[in-house]
Amino acid sequence: MPGTATQILNRVFGYTDFRGQQADIIEHVLSGSDALVLMPTGGGKSLCYQVPAMVADGMAIVVSPLIALMRDQVQALHQLGVNAAFLNSSLTSYDQARVIAQAQAGDLDMLYVAPERLLSPDTLDALSACEINLIAIDEAHCVSSWGHDFRQDYLELHRLREYFPGVPRLALTATADPRTRKDIIARLELTQPKAFVSGFDRPNICYSVQPKTDPRSQLLTFLGEHTQQAGIVYCLSRKSVDATAEWLRSKGFRALPYHAGLDTAVRTANQDRFLREDGLIMVATIAFGMGIDKPDVRFVVHMDLPKSIEAYYQETGRAGRDGEPAEAWMVYGLQDVVRLSRMAEESQGSEEHKRIERSKLDALLGWCEVTTCRRAHLLEYFGETDSARCGNCDICLIPPITYDATVAAQKALSCVYRTGQRFGAGHVIDVLRGQRRDKVVNNHHDQLSTFGIGEDVSDAQWRSIFRQLVVRGFLWVDHDRYGGLRLSERSRAVLRGEASVHLRQETLSATKKSAAAKKKAPEALRPADIPLFEELKALRKQLADSANLPPYVVFHDSTLLAMVDQRPLTCDQFLLLPGVGEAKLEKYGDDFMDLLAAYAER
């Protein structure tokens, strides 16, 4: 490793050590070879090309699909005193010409560019006169139609090999399965690339899943533990996004809606506020998130089940990019199970495709109901098998209690049978609980031997039992017959008394504390330090606003937390803070040290 790489890490980025495989990747690229880098979100992919771009003579080209993200990255680099620029359709032709002139004069270390722009004859022509030291291809999975973000423009990127012969190419992605990896290497025509694959784990994210009993009050309790924090609340439909955002505002939260049905101007404004203001909640459909690089998202909530474990992992991955503690919190109920299984059934495409959809759904549902470490199961799904108990998921923090539910299961299954295997859980539960509703009486279900045999069990508990019976394969939902529940082969042994059923005992109170809140966070501020932290945040916001930047581009929370801890009063001390390099010391050092000094006097 050339000393200069570490010096740049230190002086420019303000960090002392490379993380994980960063140093190896940088060394590999500087030796002139191609590579594929697979690193989870927040793992630190950007440094893998930013550092070599600055170490070697010339300029790096960074291919990125997302225009908004380009601007953010370039802004952040300017804050670090790095000469970077971007080229895309959002620039006027005057500005584009200016950027090209800068590149040709050798004034840039990095040029961010969208794929279609890079491959246009004009751009290629203009760049052929420049010294290019590296081509980084970000979000490289977009080249694969197997992945979920396929982009036609990426398919042409293999041409870069001819245009820039001998320039090392670095493909980066957080999306991982082996097939996508192969696609990336083949379609970009990387030359004998070395693959750097990091683990998938996001250790700072605490995962929890709760049964959906009273979703709004459950959400309220959860948010009560996260006041003043930025987070995303995912809902399935546009309607529920609007309603939930409205309702949260009525409860005093600062919440904004985001979905594809909103006016583009409103959507952009809301996204902008989410990035720039501290502690906003974005209530959104999954239309929101792609290309959101906000490092301090403290929680991601799912009010409805996502489509698959892959989708869940990608959506929750937007939390805690800065490495500070974050939460992925989800509620789910029988309704979600029914809805998603119907969607899998009705999805367009071949039988094979449907089979894949069903098995993805089964994997997700199975994961919701696990009784051992949730993280270990997630990682296993992505092929990492030997994970130990994590100590940072709901199951590790509050181990679930299972109980022998054979008798309740027999009652439930026989009631499904007696009512003709034509009804959903709601009706069957009414019969079990002896509710003389119209539908029950009209079908003469009050005459059945199973009428009222489950009176002693609450509606919510029955729902939990039915959900688990479906997920565990004792019942299945017949979508050809209006979603009626039907017995499976497995359930016959239970009805005959030959097999027992063990289910999870759920604490069905909406006021249950979230798993992460139960965990004593050693990273948390001491109460006495909160006022100082708030003052530092206010100063950061003020400086960010006057420079028209999001606050996290000035400093990450982790830098402010280190300030609280170390109280630096000299430039040398200030430089020791993580995330403080020479440019940031010069830009912001005095303001923050003045505040710290004034605080110490009080």
Interface residues with Zn ion (CB under 5 A) are: 373, 375, 390, 393, 396
43 binds ligand ADP (CB under 6 A): yes
Which residues sit opposite 59 in a β-bridge?
Answer: 132
Binding mask 47-66 for ligand ADP (x = CB under 6 A): x-------------------
Residue 472 or 584: the one with the smaller Cβ distance to ligand ADP is 584
Residues 6+ apart with CB under 8 A from 580: 14, 555, 559, 574, 589
H or E element, residue 439 = helix 438-442
550 binds ligand ADP (CB under 6 A): no
Selection from 86, 77, 55 nearest residue 168 by Cα? 55
Residue 5 or 111: the one with the smaller Cβ distance to ligand ADP is 5
Q: How far, CA to CA in Å, does 173 sit from each of 41, 106, 148, 186, 327?
A: 9, 29, 13, 15, 23
Window contacting ligand ADP (CB under 6 A); options: 14-22, 251-259, 347-355, 542-550: 14-22
581 binds ligand ADP (CB under 6 A): no
321 binds ligand ADP (CB under 6 A): yes
Exposure string over 507-545, b if 16+ CB within 10 A, otherwise e:
eeebebebbbbebeeeeebeeeeeebbebbbebbbebbe
Among 6, 18, 289, 390, binds ligand ADP (CB under 6 A): 18
325 binds ligand ADP (CB under 6 A): no
Window contacting ligand ADP (CB under 6 A); options: 43-51, 234-242, 447-455, 469-477: 43-51
Q: How far, CA to CA in Å, does 599 sit from each of 305, 578, 593?
A: 47, 21, 10
CA dist., res. 104 & res. 113, Å (int): 15
Residue 295 partner contact from ligand ADP, Zn ion, none using kind-dependent CB cut-offs of 5 to 8 Å:
ligand ADP
Tokens representing residue 184 in the block: 């990336």
Residue 484 or 579: the one with the smaller Cβ distance to ligand ADP is 579
Give min distance, CB of 195 to ligand ADP, in A: 16
Residue 181 or 321: the one with the smaller Cβ distance to ligand ADP is 321
Residue 47 or 471: the one with the smaller Cβ distance to ligand ADP is 47
CA dist., res. 565 & res. 64, Å (int): 37
**Burial class (CB within 10 angstroms; exposed 0-12, middle 13-18, buried 19+) of 229:** middle
CA dist., res. 144 & res. 165, Å (int): 23
Among 4, 11, 15, 575, binds ligand ADP (CB under 6 A): 15
Residue 181 partner contact from ligand ADP, Zn ion, none using kind-dependent CB cut-offs of 5 to 8 Å:
none
Among 8, 42, 208, 471, binds ligand ADP (CB under 6 A): 42
Give min distance, CB of 251 to Zn ion, in A: 31
295 binds ligand ADP (CB under 6 A): yes
Give min distance, CB of 201 to ligand ADP, in A: 13
Q: How far, CA to CA in Å, does 37 sit from each of 136, 190, 302, 334?
A: 10, 12, 29, 40
Among 6, 41, 218, 240, binds ligand ADP (CB under 6 A): 41
Tokens 């992919």 sit on residue: 45
44 binds ligand ADP (CB under 6 A): yes
Tally DSSP H helices, then E strands, for the chain: 28, 17
46 binds ligand ADP (CB under 6 A): yes
CA dist., res. 104 & res. 118, Å (int): 15
Window contacting ligand ADP (CB under 6 A); options: 15-23, 161-169, 191-199, 477-485: 15-23
- Positions touching ligand ADP (CB under 6 A) are 15, 18-19, 22, 39, 41-47, 295, 321-322, 556
